[in-house]
Amino acid sequence: MKTVLSILTLTVFLILLTALPNTALQSRRHGPAETLFTEQFFSQTVDHFNFNTMGNATFRQRYLITDKFWKAGHGPVFFYTGNEGDVWDFALNSGFILELAAQQQALVLFAEHRYYGKSLPFGNSSFNIPQVSLLTVEQALADYAVMITELKQQLAATHCPVIVFGGSYGGMLSAYMRLRYPNIVAGALAASAPVLSTAGLGDSRQFFQDVTADFEKIAPECRDAVRGAFSQLKKLAEHKDYSRIQSEFALCKPPSSERDIHQLNGLLRNAFTLMAMLDYPYSTHFMGNMPANPVKVGCGTMLRGPDLLANLRDTAGIVYNSTGVLTCFDLYSLYVECADPTGCGLGFNSQAWDYQACTEIELCYESNNVTDMFPPMAFTEQDREIYCSKRWAVLPRPGWLKTQFWGDALSAASNIIFSNGDLDPWANGGVRKSLSSSLIALNISGGAHHLDLRGSNEVDPESVISARQKEAEIIAQWVEMERSRLQKTL
């Protein structure tokens, strides 16, 4: 929910753009990968499915391109199906695609998802009602299909096989592209793609149970310390000892209601979520500034001494105060509760994801303090309906993604790799077992959220090195199969 920010809060917001969930809002770091890409804009149709409402209206959709490795007119096209954030942040954190492009002489394109980054169909009015209604998975996929088709013609690449890549929601879109447009896309690498859980399949307790399991693997005492700290916070809240809570958690303002305590619990839980997702073996600047092995660092902080509340505060600070410059935490500027219990972030990107979580994307996850270490925080279908009706004047459509994109009935599809790391709390919402010889599940031991899409690193576990090699082999086979098919049609 948009709030009026004080000057102090706005300052905090700007500082913390590098530590927000799901939006990947951090400032870009200039490096070799960035110098490879050229930023361009594509004239995209606003509404692909209704010829009357928008006519032939278009908007400027951003994409990044590099032909440094491309064997022009022959090499494949590697196309990243952009997800819920600035396209640069995914391009600069998906080095495997560039490494593979160098091996296979590919043209590389990263497309920005409509309503994110600079690809706003109605500018700053894009999140008004009804303009926001054109933010759908189907419209985004059509954007990519049109962009691929037209850019291939412009670049004299009409006979070059296309492979799509994506991570997380972007991985879902890559899989969906292969389902919806197999005439355009020869294969898809869907990394950490929760295609089952976001379609309303699975257990609502799974996500935060798996976050807890990551910390429990470091030490059961870590889980117990987190649970104990939240228990102490609950007791203080029950006694309405708000000044003590402010002091213990270095809050900019004392809480004054149950709503404020709920917000604090959400903010704290979200910190653990991000550490689990981004538990890479080296420091990163993706969806926040994280140290190497942040789950281990977090557990070390939780177990450093008997003051559990201080430990909990400083563990959350790994995410929200990675620079160490904040002197206090503003509850409502650092975390915004939304239709995604795993976090939406802040700014326009968060509004876009909130709308999607109110329409097609189903994320009714809950914590219960029994199967997980967090306070009981329910988010049921009814809760979702109430929130989304009030916020966006929409009623969610449960089961729509299952209807549109097959849910768990994927066996008739082909040429998709579903990769998941066992440290990723999203993994069990995806495909973990191969469904056929061309629907391949790769499980990466010691892998966090789409680790395989990241560039090679000297501390990579052997499992991800092996997974990338397997992915490269499979993609090369798909390219040759598609090239042979295209030659036969000429």
The confidence score (pLDDT) of residue 380 equals 96
The confidence score (pLDDT) of residue 235 equals 98
**pLDDT over 90 (residue 156):** yes
**pLDDT over 60 (residue 22):** no
**377 & 434 share domain:** no
The confidence score (pLDDT) of residue 53 equals 81
The domain boundary residue, chosen from 363, 392, 421: 392
**155 & 259 share domain:** no
**115 & 251 share domain:** no
**326 & 375 share domain:** yes
Task: Determine, yes or no, domain membership for 16.
Answer: no
Name the band, by pLDDT with cuts 50, 70 and 90, for residue 488: confident
159 is catalytic: no
**pLDDT over 60 (residue 2):** no
Mean pLDDT computed over 344-357: 92
Whole-angstrom distance, CA of residue 343 vs CA of residue 274: 9
**pLDDT over 70 (residue 480):** yes
**pLDDT over 80 (residue 31):** no
436 is catalytic: no
Task: Determine, yes or no, domain membership for 75.
Answer: yes
**210 & 194 share domain:** no
The confidence score (pLDDT) of residue 458 equals 97
Task: Determine, yes or no, domain membership for 159.
Answer: yes
**168 & 69 share domain:** yes
Name the band, by pLDDT with cuts 50, 70 and 90, for residue 486: confident
**pLDDT over 90 (residue 216):** yes
The confidence score (pLDDT) of residue 52 equals 87
**80 & 124 share domain:** yes
The domain boundary residue, chosen from 392, 413, 448: 392
The confidence score (pLDDT) of residue 25 equals 30
The confidence score (pLDDT) of residue 35 equals 85
- Measured CA angle at 288 (ends 255, 297), to 5 deg: 85
Name the band, by pLDDT with cuts 50, 70 and 90, for residue 29: very low
The domain boundary residue, chosen from 392, 418, 447: 392
Task: Determine, yes or no, domain membership for 65.
Answer: yes
Kindly name the residue from 94, 168, 204, 333 that is annotated as catalytic: 168
**321 & 465 share domain:** no
**pLDDT over 50 (residue 24):** no
6 is catalytic: no
The confidence score (pLDDT) of residue 9 equals 34
pLDDT one-digit tens code per residue, 362-372: 999 999 999 99
**pLDDT over 80 (residue 198):** yes
First to last CA, the chain: 55
Q: What is the mean pLDDT of the chain?
A: 92
Number of domains in the chain: 2
Six-digit token string for 52: 């009357």
Give the residue from 424, 478, 433 showing the smallest Cα distance to 213. Answer: 424
CATH number assigned to the domain comprising residue 234: 1.20.120.980
**pLDDT over 90 (residue 27):** no
Name the band, by pLDDT with cuts 50, 70 and 90, for residue 490: confident
Six-digit token string for 5: 């920010």
pLDDT one-digit tens code per residue, 260-299: 999 999 999 999 999 999 999 999 998 778 999 999 999 9
Angle, helices 220-238/294-302, rounded to nearest 10 degrees: 60
Task: Determine, yes or no, domain membership for 1.
Answer: no
Name the band, by pLDDT with cuts 50, 70 and 90, for residue 346: confident
Residue with tokens 């228990």: 231
Percent of the chain with pLDDT over 70: 93
**271 & 358 share domain:** yes
The confidence score (pLDDT) of residue 233 equals 98
pLDDT one-digit tens code per residue, 412-425: 999 999 999 999 99
CATH number assigned to the domain comprising residue 164: 3.40.50.1820
CA R_g for the chain = 22
Dmax (CA) for the chain in angstroms is 77
**pLDDT over 50 (residue 11):** no
Task: Determine, yes or no, domain membership for 265.
Answer: yes
> Domain range for residue 365?
205-392
The confidence score (pLDDT) of residue 32 equals 62
Task: Determine, yes or no, domain membership for 26.
Answer: no
**231 & 300 share domain:** yes
Kindly name the residue from 48, 113, 285, 449 that is annotated as catalytic: 449
Six-digit token string for 32: 């070799």
Whole-angstrom distance, CA of residue 112 vs CA of residue 117: 7
**224 & 250 share domain:** yes
By 3-state DSSP, what share of the chain in percent is helix, strand and coil, each rounded to 5?
45, 10, 40
**382 & 266 share domain:** yes
Kindly name the residue from 340, 354, 372, 424 that is annotated as catalytic: 424
**pLDDT over 70 (residue 312):** yes
Task: Determine, yes or no, domain membership for 8.
Answer: no
